[in-house]
């Protein structure tokens, strides 16, 4: 094809910097063979238009700028950018042209920056959806930014929009601006190779046992809680990391027979001469167990031989969502994960149990308030929504005698709502609580919203109507309708044709200076109805269904079917500090490894504003199964929990071997830290 160049002279000189992204930008369109292409033109006295021998439709749009009008020169991500990280924490117009006006401050008038004048839109076909986020300027008035409330979605088109509602201090409106970009896969940028090597050494005497939790006691010994409720205690030989002098502590099983026990933690005030520990446990089995069967026991004495219930009647599911692991916070309160009773918030055919007021949450136990009540504290809650809606503001009991977590006198309260099933949790030295959580499989049901329902923050739900969604099977009333109208309505119209999709596994981050937040698992007893981010995570919703107003999002997206469970903050300076301050997470399912996650800030900053705390989210991730310098951190049989000997940097890990693979072992395994590694000789 022959190409002929022609020039069209422009009489007006344009002296301003190029302003890409504007609808009134000088541009031309080339239409050929039904394909429309937009070509941007640099401003100069002449615009070059490419002509071919084929028929063309050429439209030339000329722009005349008014000197006094401000506009955006560029933004980040750039207009047209691809493979943008889903963990991008700020979309910003950080290159502005704002004319100087005598008598007025320079830059943007931050009072004009709002969610109405600055937006981030998710584009799907011809439709766009406003994303939730924080918009803000700077002290210098030299940038306009949007920080999404939660991670962007992979492989998705977004449009950053600044309207003429944004103004400079002299009242001049900005030229409308848009920048479109596309995200890439959900893969955080990995750090440089870490040069970390562990040597795997099975711990003698632990094979073919199902362990649930590992911890160090104040006596320097390792305590391993078995799923049946027996605790094993080991001496530690720090010359090689081996565990010796194994001792069984059968306090729970001697008193209650076989249990299902998950969490074990020592009171931070206990000493080698005064051992005090806490265990979460319930009746043995995964079927036919009462709803309110969960307990927390205190064990004390030289051999933890004394047992006392401190909490009884916690909820539990029919399966493996139980009263999970515990962690003491910086305020000396005990925090623990209470699993959900259902798949996605409503009764379903798989889990066959409704949610309760305390299920699917991180709970906080205040020992100062607990000392004022007679033990054990019975925390069975009512299923009467009217009573919950009228919960007393002070008393820890409802009028029917059931427990009230909303009373100011109540020792046990809801600290973070909507966390489906977190096996473990960790208070990081940066002051944040990190919680790896398991997402739902396909087939769950979500609840319908009910106006006037009390929420954990003390408000009452009066938000938009949220319809129930079904994961593929209807309940009894649906079967009845089908039977009544078999000859009138095709059965395919009565039974949903699609199941709800598998949900991601998340790492949640809870900021202690913020009020109670919602993290995505619905619970109709608490007036929380939208699953995760709404339509993007549950396409059975209408596209108009957005996240709950109190939804906090996640610090990291593990993806699907990873089952992140045990978590620690690595504290020693082994490997020249390569792991220090990073989170180590056991990926029980997908991966079968230890994942290394780096928070954006490893130190506590009391000056960080609550609306701008994303610095604590994850900025890099290294799977143990990768080839990025991590050796001996993969190939495990369902790694469940992990603990560090902070004196040596050695790790101890539970291999659960869930399905008893004959080629694997359920056991405790020592990961001995290899010292003085020469990176040049590192074999991955």
User: Domain extents for the chain?
Assistant: 3-61, 71-182, 196-678
d(CA 225, CA 260): 10
More confident site: 169 or 213: 213
What pLDDT band is residue 492 in, cutting at 50, 70 and 90?
Answer: very low
b/e per residue 480-509 (b: at least 16 CB within 10 A):
eeeeeeeeeeeeeeeebeebbbebbbbbbb
Residue written as token pair 């080991």: 234
d(CA 552, CA 517): 6
Res 469 pLDDT > 50: yes
CATH 2.60.40.1220 for domain 71-182, yes or no, is yes
Q: E strand or H helix at 119, and its extent?
A: strand 118-124
End-to-end, the C-alpha distance of the chain in Å comes to 53
What pLDDT band is residue 106 in, cutting at 50, 70 and 90?
Answer: low
b/e per residue 634-658 (b: at least 16 CB within 10 A):
bebbbbbbbbbbeebbbbbbbbbbe
Q: Are 341 and 350 in contact (CB under 8 A)?
A: no
Q: Residue 188 — φ and ψ, nearest 5°?
A: -60, 150
Q: What's the whole-number average pLDDT of the chain?
A: 84
What pLDDT band is residue 141 in, cutting at 50, 70 and 90?
Answer: low
Among 467-471, 533-537, 545-549, 583-587, the least confident range: 467-471
What pLDDT band is residue 348 in, cutting at 50, 70 and 90?
Answer: confident
Res 22 pLDDT > 60: no
More confident site: 21 or 324: 324
Number of C-beta neighbours around residue 272 at 10 A: 11
Residue written as token pair 């919703």: 541
What pLDDT band is residue 560 in, cutting at 50, 70 and 90?
Answer: confident
Res 85 pLDDT > 90: no
d(CA 91, CA 160): 7
Segment of 51-55, 456-460, 592-596 carrying the highest mean pLDDT: 456-460
Residue 294 tokens read as 């969960």
Res 33 pLDDT > 80: no
Res 216 pLDDT > 60: yes
What pLDDT band is residue 169 in, cutting at 50, 70 and 90?
Answer: confident
What pLDDT band is residue 608 in, cutting at 50, 70 and 90?
Answer: low
pLDDT on residue 142:
66
d(CA 543, CA 536): 8
Q: E strand or H helix at 49, and its extent?
A: strand 46-52
pLDDT on residue 611:
67
Among 159-168, 180-189, 635-644, the least confident range: 180-189
In the sheet that holds 505-510, the strands lie side by side as 426-427, 433-437, 505-510, 556-559
Question: Helices then strands (H, E): number in the chain?
Answer: 4, 39
Please name which of 445, 438, 478 lies closest in space to residue 350, comparing C-alpha atoms: 445
What pLDDT band is residue 105 in, cutting at 50, 70 and 90?
Answer: low
Please name which of 148, 152, 158 lies closest in space to residue 182, comparing C-alpha atoms: 158
Q: Residue 141 — φ and ψ, nearest 5°?
A: 65, 30
Among 193-197, 384-388, 608-612, the least confident range: 608-612
Cβ-proximal residues to 292 (8 Å cutoff; 6+ apart), any chain: 313, 314, 315, 316, 356, 380
Please name which of 542, 516, 545 lies closest in space to residue 530, comparing C-alpha atoms: 545
d(CA 678, CA 491): 68
d(CA 575, CA 595): 16
Res 23 pLDDT > 50: no
What pLDDT band is residue 185 in, cutting at 50, 70 and 90?
Answer: confident
Mean pLDDT of 644-657: 97
In the sheet that holds 583-587, the strands lie side by side as 564-569, 583-587, 593-599, 618-622
d(CA 310, CA 300): 13
For domain 196-678, the CATH architecture is 6 Propeller (2.120)
pLDDT on residue 477:
39
Res 31 pLDDT > 50: no
d(CA 181, CA 131): 14
**Single pTM value for the model:** 0.72
Res 17 pLDDT > 50: no
Res 634 pLDDT > 80: yes
Q: Are 610 and 637 in contact (CB under 8 A)?
A: no
Same fold, 71-182 and 196-678: no
Cβ-proximal residues to 175 (8 Å cutoff; 6+ apart), any chain: 19, 22, 24, 65, 69, 70, 71, 72, 164
pLDDT on residue 459:
97
Residue 45 tokens read as 């006295």
pLDDT on residue 89:
62
pLDDT on residue 678:
45
d(CA 539, CA 537): 6
Mean pLDDT of 96-125: 84
């Amino acid at each position: 094809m022959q190409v002929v160049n022609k020039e069209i002279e422009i009489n007006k000189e344009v002296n301003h910097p190029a302003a890409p992204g504007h609808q009134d930008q000088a541009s031309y369109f080339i239409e050929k063979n039904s394909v429309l292409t937009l070509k941007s033109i640099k401003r100069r006295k002449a615009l070059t238009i490419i002509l071919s021998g084929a028929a063309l439709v050429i439209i030339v749009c000329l722009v005349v700028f008014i000197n006094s009008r401000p506009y955006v020169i560029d933004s980040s991500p750039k207009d047209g950018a691809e493979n943008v990280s889903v963990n991008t924490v700020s979309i910003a117009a950080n290159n502005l042209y704002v004319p100087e006006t005598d008598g007025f401050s320079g830059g943007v008038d931050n009072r004009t920056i709002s969610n109405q004048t600055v937006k981030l839109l998710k584009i799907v076909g011809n439709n766009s959806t406003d994303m939730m986020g924080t918009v803000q300027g700077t002290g210098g008035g030299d940038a306009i930014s949007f920080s999404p409330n939660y991670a962007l979605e992979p492989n998705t088109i977004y449009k950053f929009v600044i309207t003429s509602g944004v103004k400079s201090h002299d009242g001049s409106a900005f030229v409308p601006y848009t920048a479109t970009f596309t995200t890439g896969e959900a893969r955080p940028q990995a750090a440089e190779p870490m040069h970390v090597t562990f040597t795997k050494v099975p711990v003698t005497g632990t094979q073919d046992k199902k362990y649930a939790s590992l911890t160090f006691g104040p006596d320097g010994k390792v305590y391993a809680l078995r799923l049946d409720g027996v605790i094993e205690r080991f001496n530690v030989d720090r010359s090689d990391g081996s565990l010796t002098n194994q001792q069984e502590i059968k306090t729970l099983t001697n008193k209650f027979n076989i249990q299902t026990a998950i969490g074990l933690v020592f009171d931070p005030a206990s000493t080698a001469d005064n051992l005090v520990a806490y265990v979460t446990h319930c009746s043995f089995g995964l079927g036919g167990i009462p709803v309110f069967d969960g307990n927390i026991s205190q064990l004390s004495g030289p051999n933890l031989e004394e047992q006392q219930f401190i909490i009884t009647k916690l909820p539990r599911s029919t399966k493996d969502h139980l009263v999970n692991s515990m962690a003491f916070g910086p305020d000396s309160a005990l925090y623990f994960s209470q699993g959900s009773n259902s798949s996605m918030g409503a009764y379903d055919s798989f889990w066959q149990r409704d949610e309760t007021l305390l299920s699917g949450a991180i709970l906080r136990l205040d020992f100062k308030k607990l000392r004022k009540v007679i033990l054990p504290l019975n925390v069975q809650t009512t299923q009467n929504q009217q009573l919950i809606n009228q919960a007393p503001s002070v008393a820890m009991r409802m009028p029917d005698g059931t427990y009230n977590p909303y009373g100011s006198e109540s020792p046990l309260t809801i600290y973070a709502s909507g966390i489906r099933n977190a096996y473990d949790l960790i208070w990081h030295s940066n002051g944040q609580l990190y919680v790896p959580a398991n997402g739902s499989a396909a087939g769950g049901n979500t609840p319908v919203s009910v106006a006037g329902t009390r929420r954990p923050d003390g408000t009452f739900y009066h938000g938009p109507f949220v319809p129930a969604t079904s994961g593929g099977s209807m309940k009894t009333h649906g079967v009845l309708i089908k039977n009544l109208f078999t000859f009138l309505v095709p059965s395919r119209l009565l039974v949903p044709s699609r199941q709800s999709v598998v949900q991601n596994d998340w790492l949640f981050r809870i900021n202690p200076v913020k009020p109670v937040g919602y993290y995505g698992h619905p619970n109709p007893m608490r007036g929380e109805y939208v699953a995760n981010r709404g339509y993007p995570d549950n396409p059975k919703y209408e596209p108009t269904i957005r996240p709950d107003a109190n939804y906090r999002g996640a610090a990291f997206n593990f993806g699907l079917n990873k089952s992140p469970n045990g978590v620690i903050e690595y504290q020693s300076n082994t490997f020249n500090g390569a792991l220090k301050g990073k989170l180590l997470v056991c990926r029980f399912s997908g991966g079968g490894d230890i994942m290394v996650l780096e928070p954006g800030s490893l130190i506590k900053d009391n000056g960080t504003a609550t609306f701008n705390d994303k610095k604590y989210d994850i900025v890099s991730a290294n799977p143990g199964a990768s080839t990025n310098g991590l050796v001996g951190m993969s190939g495990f049989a369902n790694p469940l929990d992990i603990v560090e000997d902070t004196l040596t940097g050695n790790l101890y890990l539970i291999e659960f071997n869930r399905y008893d693979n004959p080629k694997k072992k359920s056991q405790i395994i020592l990961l001995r830290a290899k010292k003085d590694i020469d990176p040049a000789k590192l074999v991955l």
